[in-house]
């Protein structure tokens, strides 16, 4: 029997980071979660800067219908939330899990995630919306 060494696709790091999973979840690592944990954040708003390919995760204290509930890991292993519709909106390719670097922006008071350009589908790569079909049926023949 011949064994081979398995090479991990996602390396653990001490730097703040976020992974967009192919299951549609935004997973925030332990280092990046500390900004939310120390303030007992329950809800966040998700922002998108299309020009600079950046995602912002801003903690909020008041209820907002646009907010996502932040769920913390059982053993303090980070946090996350379901973001499938957001990934679809920005055209993020999540055919595989995508790790991305993050940093805390003190001025804007949010976690900022740098999205590599190759992770985002170009507008032309996204499926276009079909225009509504016109009624080109002939009128029914009556006798």
The tally of domains found in the chain comes to: 1
**Residue-number span of the structural domain to which 77 is assigned:** 17-123
Q: Predicted confidence band at 15 (pLDDT cuts at 50, 70, 90)?
A: confident
Measured distance CA(10)–CA(12) in Å, rounded: 7
Cβ within 8 Å of residue 47, ≥6 positions away = 55, 56, 57, 58, 110
Tell me the backbone φ, ψ of residue 119, rounded to 5 degrees: -80, -20
Residue 137 lies in a domain: no
Residue 41 lies in a domain: yes
Q: By C-alpha distance, which of 119, 132, 38, 118 is closest to 76?
A: 38
pLDDT single digits (tens) 42-58: 999 999 999 999 999 99
State pTM to two decimals. Answer: 0.76
Residue 139 lies in a domain: no
Residue 9 lies in a domain: no
pLDDT single digits (tens) 79-135: 999 999 999 999 999 999 999 999 999 999 999 999 999 999 865 444 444 555 555
């Amino acid at each position: 029997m011949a064994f081979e060494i398995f090479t991990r696709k996602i390396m653990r790091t001490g730097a703040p980071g976020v992974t967009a999973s192919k299951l549609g979840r935004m997973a925030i690592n332990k280092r990046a979660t500390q900004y939310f944990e120390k303030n007992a954040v329950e809800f966040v708003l998700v922002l998108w800067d299309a020009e600079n390919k950046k995602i912002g995760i801003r903690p909020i204290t008041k209820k907002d219908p646009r907010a996502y509930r932040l769920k913390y890991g059982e053993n303090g292993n980070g946090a996350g939330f379901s973001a499938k519709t957001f990934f679809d909106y920005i055209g993020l390719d999540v055919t595989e899990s995508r790790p991305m670097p993050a940093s805390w922006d003190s001025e804007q008071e949010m976690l900022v995630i740098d999205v590599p350009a190759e992770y985002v589908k170009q507008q032309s790569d996204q499926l276009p919306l079909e225009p509504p079909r016109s009624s080109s049926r002939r009128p029914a023949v009556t006798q």
